[in-house]
Amino acid sequence: MDAEATQDVDSKRAKTTVGPVILFGPPGAGKGTQAKKIAEIFGIPQISTGDILRENVSKGTPLGHMAKVVMDRGELVPDELVYGMVSDRLGKEDCNRGCILDGFPRTIPQAEWLDRYMEGRLFDKVGARKMPPIVIQVKVEYNSLLQRLTGRRSCPNCGRIYNVHYQPPCVEGICDLDGSNLVLRPDDREEVIAERLRAYDRQTLPLVNYYQKSGRLRTVNGDQPVDVVTAEILRAIENGDRL
């Protein structure tokens, strides 16, 4: 594609009604990395329940106090704790053209809750069409997940995600964008990672079946370079007969 054609595609994407896109996959699959890129491409927000919970933890809110204990063990916080924060976030005006849900839903009750919530929000395209969520499962091999999680570092200020093995910052331990000291997530310790992966298998994987039944599931191979995965996700969104 020449530069002019690329610009046309970019400006079309920035105006498109995308509707809700759910990115789901195990811890370390690259949901956050991809959600940030896709959100920027379409100019719609990334909604990460993990990030919102961590923000509550760092601000010391009552929700943060309740969530911290559970997150530090690598378990999922109770469904009821996430509904309020998700509906607050989805109700904001910047979600009008759509949003990228990163880490929500991750249980069957959460998926059912979201379906009920979405019934009242049609994301009409040219005034007529209901847009149910597009669900993208990012699949990654177990050993890559472990490497990715133990090597992850993130910027506490801008949220940019790095990896000491795969996407290191220019200067070790320092964010390229704002110079902050990079941090390790408390739940990226090996014993907690094992529990997070178990929780994923037990509580989140059943969503494959849930979304397959309604024909909404697309699968992407997340074991590829970041830009290749992004291109596959874009294809899954744009060829999903919705845009």
Return the structure tokens found at 111.
Answer: 């998926």
Q: Choose among Mg ion, ligand AP5, none what residue 68 binds, the Cβ cut-off being 5 to 8 Å by kind.
A: none
Active-site annotation holds for 106: yes
Among 13, 54, 148, 196, the active-site one is 196
Q: Beginning with the edge strand found earlier in the chain, give each strand of the sheet holding 46-48 in spatial order.
A: 46-48, 98-102, 19-24, 134-139, 217-221
Q: Which 41-80 residues touch ligand AP5, going by CB under 6 A?
A: 49-50, 53, 70-71, 74-77
Number of residues that bind ligand AP5 (CB under 6 A): 36
Q: Cα–Cα distance between 8 and 5 in angstroms, integer?
A: 5
Q: Which amino acid, 65?
A: H
Q: Which is nearer to ligand AP5, 16 or 20 (CB)?
A: 20
148 makes contact with ligand AP5 (CB under 6 A): yes
Q: In Å, how far are 14, 111, 138, 154 from 223, measured between CA atoms?
A: 28, 26, 9, 20
162 makes contact with ligand AP5 (CB under 6 A): yes
Closest CA to 70 of 187, 197, 152, 191: 187
- Label residues 45-62 b or e (16+ Cβ within 10 Å = b): bbbbbbbbbbebbeeeee
Active-site annotation holds for 116: no
Work out how close the CB of 118 gets to ligand AP5 at its nearest, in angstroms, rounded to a whole number. Answer: 16
103 makes contact with ligand AP5 (CB under 6 A): yes
Among 31, 54, 148, 153, the active-site one is 31
Contact 180, 174 (CB under 8 A): yes
Active-site annotation holds for 160: no
Please report how many Cα atoms fall inside a 13 Å half-sphere around the Cα of residue 14, on the Cβ side: 7
Q: Choose among Mg ion, ligand AP5, none what residue 163 binds, the Cβ cut-off being 5 to 8 Å by kind.
A: ligand AP5
Among 26-34, 133-141, 195-203, 221-229, which window interacts with Mg ion (CB under 5 A)? Answer: 26-34
Q: In Å, how far are 32, 101, 110, 111 from 78, measured between CA atoms?
A: 21, 18, 10, 14
Active-site annotation holds for 152: yes
Q: Which 3-32 residues touch ligand AP5, going by CB under 6 A?
A: 25, 27-32
Contact 103, 25 (CB under 8 A): no
Write out the residues near ligand AP5 by the rule CB under 6 A: 25, 27-33, 49-50, 53, 70-71, 74-77, 82, 103-104, 106, 110, 148, 151-152, 161-163, 166-167, 187, 196, 222, 225-226, 229
Active-site residue list: 31, 106, 152, 185, 196
